[in-house]
Structure 1
Amino acid sequence: MTRSDDAAVKRTEKWLERLDRFVDQHGHAAVPQLFEDEFGHRLGRWVKRMRRRYRSGHLEASSIAALEARPGWLWHASKQNRATRADGSIAPSENPLAHMASLLAFATCHGHTAVPYNSQEPDHSGLGDWVRRQRAHYRAGDLSSRRIALLEAVPHWSWEQTPRPSPWYETYEVLLQWVSDHGTADLSRRVVAPSGQRVGEWVQAQRQRQRRGRLAPERFQLLEQLPGWCWDASWKNDTFSERLAELEAHAREHGLDEPLPPQLRRWIDRRVLDYKRGLLSDERFAALEALEWWRWARPSRSNSAFREQQTALEHWLESER
């Protein structure tokens, strides 16, 4: 026996020892094709290789006898064997489409298909394990073309085992957790998540991107479906009617020549800006238009000062005549 033959025999003995440990734990040698032991040894892949060599007639008689001596050994991976769980236990036959609806709902809600392996969401129980197995079967070449097409039709689908969501989706997940804890996406700009992410500032940035037309449609939909979400933060406390009443009261009491208080002047400026950006509702537009003295383009302070100086000059000239 050559040195290489001796090394091959020793390798086979090592694998047979690992197979025996599997048999001791599970009571059978029907190792699932994707099984790895606690040390990371891919026992399922080795078993598959032995079956392939047996079918091609290249497996030694001693190895055939050793494998067939193990209880529950299978030379052909049956449907039952393909459905064996990763921990080695035999799983019941499953409907291949059982989790497709849950996967579609998860992708729509979260914007990715990186389903956690141990996801505890009530509507997605077992989804993480199922998704992991679909990707593993795909790498092993065991998925039908129909199943591949169905999975690839799911939005954001990736064949990577643990695709990392983009930073946008990572922060969106933080916002989802905030909504789950507080029941609303109405949060202050100063809010910082326990992980340290400035989720409040991120929310404000999304509103700015939307106003500039730079927010992707799918992200717009993900945000708009959140309870309490509002694209204009100045509307979230809905003080429009209160400010309008204050403005009308000021006009009645002091007239239009009296300077406006700073808070009312800023409020008017924001409403004019909302109008220019197309963010003002029809109802609020009509309420402002009903004011006889309302103007959407207010004169600048420099123009007002110029007119005041011009009027004073005219009065002086008239008095000198």
Structure 2
Amino acid sequence: MRVAQHLPPHRLAELDAIPGWVWHENDARWQRGLNALARFRTEHGHAQVPATYRTPSGFALGEWCSGRRGEYKRGTLTDTKRTTLEGVEGWTWTAQQGRRLRGWALVREFADQPATHSSRTTCSCPTATH
């Protein structure tokens, strides 16, 4: 950054020590998106953010996620960012992977329910309607 080139090292260190300080807006947007994704994951139990989803504060999280998937597909997403996203439980690179994960989660949820019939020994899953 141009300003950083003109600051003495001790001033750079002071700025770097400020919580939330970023030198580049892209870094701030990345962190904001990652934080929003973590909150979404906690609140909804999955990381499959709808493309049009906005956080209560107005952040376009669905677009942010789509953008990261696009960067991944084009090979322009850094390894660090790729690894970070892959560390978010339930994150997938494609919608198909996401649907598969959600489907298995529903099967597990159904199988974990108490049997409604005393002789039930297997998991009979209902047929999907969509």
TM class by smaller structure = 0.5 to 0.7
| Residue-by-residue CA offset, 1:196-252 (whole Å, 9 max, x unaligned) | xxxxxxxxxxxxxxxxxxxxxxxxxxxxxxxxxxxxxxxxxxxxxxxxxxxxxxxxx
Q: CA deviation at 1:80?
A: 5.5
Q: Any stretches of 5+ residues in structure 1 without a counterpart?
A: 85-89, 96-321
Report the CA distance between 1:6 and its aligned residue. Answer: 2.3
1:69 to 76, 87, 94: 87
- CA apart distance, 1:5: 6.6
- Over the matched positions of the two proteins, sequence identity in percent amounts to 30
> Residue 9 of structure 1 aligns with which residue?
27
The Cα offsets for residues 245-295 of structure 1, whole Å up to 9 and x where unpaired, read as: xxxxxxxxxxxxxxxxxxxxxxxxxxxxxxxxxxxxxxxxxxxxxxxxxxx
One-letter amino acid of the structure 2 residue matched with residue 43 of structure 1: L
> What's the TM-score, normalizing by structure 1?
0.24
Aligned to 2:38: 20
| Distance (whole Å) between structure 2 residues aligned to residue 76 and residue 40 of structure 1 | 24
The runs of at least 4 consecutive aligned structure 1 residues that moved more than 4 Å come to none
> Which structure is richer in relative contact order (CA contacts within 8 A, separation 6 or more)?
2
Letter aligned with residue 70 of structure 1:
V
**Matched residues, number:** 86
Give SS of 2:55's match.
coil
With the length of structure 2 as denominator, give the TM-score of the two structures. Answer: 0.56
Q: Which amino acid aligns with 1:28?
A: H
For residues 1-321 of structure 1, the aligned pairs below 5 Å read 2=1, 6-78=24-96, 81=99, 95=130
How far residue 46 of structure 1 moved from its aligned partner, in angstroms, is 0.9
Give me the CA root mean square deviation: 2.8
Shift in CA distance, 39/54, structure 1 to aligned 2, threshold 3 Å:
same
